[in-house]
Amino acid sequence: MSTSSDTLSFTGPFPHIRLRRNRRHDWSRRLVAENSLSANDLIWPVFIIEGENQIEPVPSMPGVFRYSIDRLVEACREAHDLGIPAVALFPRTPEHLKDLEGSESANPDNLICRATRALKAALPNLGVICDVALDPYTTSGHDGILRDGYVVNDETVEALCKQALVQAQAGSDVVAPSDMMDGRIRAVRECLDAHGFIDTQVCSYAAKYASGFYGPFRDAVGTGGTLQGGDKKTYQMDPANTDEALREVAIDLEEGADMVIIKPGMPYLDIIQRISSTFKVPTWAYQVSGEYAMIMAAVNNGWLSPEKVILESLLCFKRAGAGAILTYFAVDAAKRLQQLK
């Protein structure tokens, strides 16, 4: 009569396929890793203010600051030394320079243009990305020109072209329209080309959703109050939609975008995955201010461990197919990655 242990010795121990074998040792886990994160994947968004020797904390984004141009150069030197390829610049425009049309956006000596010139002079090998949208400059807080309560498309696109041109003239490597007007990528491309800026890259915020996760950013650039509870739903995308994001990307590529951004990031990994696998073009993700604030709030309460969640949150973008990530954690993450080496 066979015992149950006899039976086991014939069939072998259960189970014979063990996925945990590959996970047992660190060297093995590293060999079987399908994705990885490095400083090369990171773009650091930075806020700029007027003045000298100024560093101002952004209350809703613990650990994030607004820098005057001199301090910006210093902070970006650190980012550059850590291997971060590029920074994305966002100005906090003094209120007295704002108007209904956002005309300060086309001033060749505005804060962004001066910051760009200073950065390119000090750190020529650090990529500079400038946001193209009117919200830092309009009294309405909208990304475009408001007429009878509606952001008008074509007139805004003309203003965006002027804005992109002064940014390119200041030395910006990449201009990044984040306004969601129709037709602006082609218009900006043609305007740059006509003025000889054939090598200035155009990065389209192609799939940008009307999201609640931008709240802390609006505090940082001082547009939250002016928007007065209003929203951007007549030009930014409905969070309910996926197919429409593919259409936005297809059109912007056709119009000449060199790369596309999806925004926000973590709640939209499905969109990143679908766009990167459909188009096979440089696809960047923006882990936006509200995502940063959410993580930092939990970290500062002791509810999440920064050692674990920061790099994990960024690696997940790589898994979803993003080639690069705009993140307020860029400098912190680059330091953590260096320590892991």
Supply the residues annotated as catalytic.
Answer: 208, 263
Query: With b meaning 16 or more CB within 10 Å and e meaning fewer, what string describes 74-104?
Result: ebbeebbebebbbbbbbbbbeeebbeebbbb
| Euclidean distance between CA atoms 74 and 119, whole angstroms | 9
Contact status: 131 vs ligand PBG (CB under 6 A): yes
Tokens of 95: 């209120």
| Euclidean distance between CA atoms 164 and 69, whole angstroms | 20
Q: How far is the CB of 213 from ligand PBG (least distance, A)?
A: 6
Q: Specify the stretch interacting with ligand PBG by CB under 6 A; choose among 1-9, 211-219, 243-251, 267-275.
A: 211-219
What residues between 41 and 100 interact with ligand PBG by CB under 6 A?
none
Contact status: 288 vs ligand PBG (CB under 6 A): yes
Q: What does the per-residue mask of binding to ligand PBG show for 227-266, with x meaning CB under 6 A?
A: -----x----------------------------------
Q: Is 248 annotated as a binding residue?
A: yes
Considering the complex, state which of residue 221 and residue 320 has its C-beta at the smaller distance from ligand PBG. Answer: 221
Q: Specify the stretch interacting with ligand PBG by CB under 6 A; choose among 36-44, 62-70, 129-137, 153-161.
A: 129-137
For 187-249, the three-class secondary structure string (H helix, E strand, C coil) is HHHHHHHHCCCCCCEEEEEEEEECCHHHHHHHHHHCCHHHHCCCCCCCCCECCCCCHHHHHHH
Contact status: 317 vs ligand PBG (CB under 6 A): no
Contact status: 135 vs ligand PBG (CB under 6 A): yes
The residues near 29 (Cβ < 8 Å, ≥ 6 apart) are: 22, 23
What is the contact surface with ligand PBG in residues (CB under 6 A)? 131, 133, 135, 143, 178-179, 214, 217-218, 232, 288-289
